Amino acid sequence: MLPANRLPVKQFNTVLSVVLCLAMLTASAQKGTLKKTPISQPLVTHIYTADPSAHVFNGKIYIYPSHDFEAGIKEDDLGSHFAMRDYHILSMDSVGGKVTDNGVALDIKDVPWAGRQMWAPDAAFKDGVYYLYFPAKDKTDVFHIGVATSKSPVGPFKAEKEPIKGSYSIDPCVYKDTDGSYYMYFGGIWGGQLQRWATGKYDANAKLRTANEEAIMPRVAKLSADMKSFTETPRNVKITDAHRKVFLESNNDKRFFEAAWMHTYKGKYYFSYSTGDTHYINYAMGDSPYGPFIYKGVVLKPVEGWTNHHSIVEIKGKWYLFYHDTQLSGKTHLRNVKVTELHYNADGTIIPIDAYR
């Protein structure tokens, strides 16, 4: 008989191997070297795409993403390395089906007022015309939002000669309300320049908010009947906690950074957005397209890569989240768009999504 505190050599070696393996796995996890398994795969792999704004037009799915490429520009906090210069529109008949790249829909060389950096776009449809809304820096390096039109959802689009009057910053999202009105939500801090418009006029020297100051809010403006101008001066979109208290800049796991999106579900307005430096897609709910919106929680947990940008769309009775990560390249500025199903709880809150297993 062996003493109670001893194991046969073979069993001891087996236990030792398991212990060592677990120790190695723990060490790898702590170093961030374990490869996570994504829950979905890139929709296209021949080009880099990001910031997917998805829509259903005439029963077909169209995705309006940014088009990433390697410009050889050093990475910085202003996003100078995101040097996108055209748009490719993707389409598919159903989620999981074949995805078509419809080629260049709009190139920066065909936008008279634009200088560089065509960032995240969105699209809308009204009275037989498709509208592509896009941010770009003008010739003086100030971001504005432009609009281009086409008779086809995939373009080519013809840009207006000037950006939308009164527009600024980045990440336009255009939402059609139940009464047929259209609203544009927009804005992004840091490189998106929203902090430079605190007074309604551009101030190149304006600073970001300090930790104990109220966080900078996104903007919303109602669009005119021609879909090419605002009917009003852009307003702040108020996002609060459950006690109706506005977030401070120090609440950077909850406050707005960029990537506004609006959708409705069971009569409620859902304003979702990226927290930027903490990498969440969060959402808040309200009773009006103008808000205020009460913070409810997380839509999407952080993905691989620095940025996070999304859209939420109902397709054939199911809800989907379109988003991006850096699975293909491993580089922050070379991203790939993806899609996964989104689910709600009985009370209308969204079940948070982890993009990895």
Please list, residue by residue across 89-114, b when 16 or more beta carbons sit within 10 angstroms of its beta carbon and e when fewer do: bbbbeebeeebebbebbbebeebeeb
Given 51, 171, 304, 325, which residue is catalytic?
51
Tell me the C-alpha to C-alpha distance, in Å, between residue 295 and each of 206, 220, 269, 279: 27, 17, 12, 16
Name residue 125's beta-bridge partners.
130
> Distance from CA of residue 251 to its chain's centroid?
19
Tell me the C-alpha to C-alpha distance, in Å, between residue 133 and each of 48, 57, 251, 304: 20, 16, 30, 27
Active site residue 258: yes
Active site residue 51: yes
DSSP string over 7-70:
--HHHHHHHHHHHHHHHHHHHHHHHT-SPPPBSS--S-SSSEEEEEEEEEETTEEEEEEEEE--
**Whole-angstrom Cα distance, residue 38 to residue 70?**
24
Given 122, 171, 258, 304, which residue is catalytic?
258
**Whole-angstrom Cα distance, residue 50 to residue 346?**
31
**Whole-angstrom Cα distance, residue 258 to residue 282?**
11
In degrees and rounded to multiples of 5, residue 318 shows phi and psi of -115, 155
Whether residue 297 contacts residue 282, with contact meaning beta carbons closer than 8 Å, is answered with yes
Q: Which two tokens stand for residue 269?
A: 């307005």
Whether residue 202 contacts residue 169, with contact meaning beta carbons closer than 8 Å, is answered with no
Whether residue 311 contacts residue 52, with contact meaning beta carbons closer than 8 Å, is answered with yes
Catalytic residue numbers? 51, 258
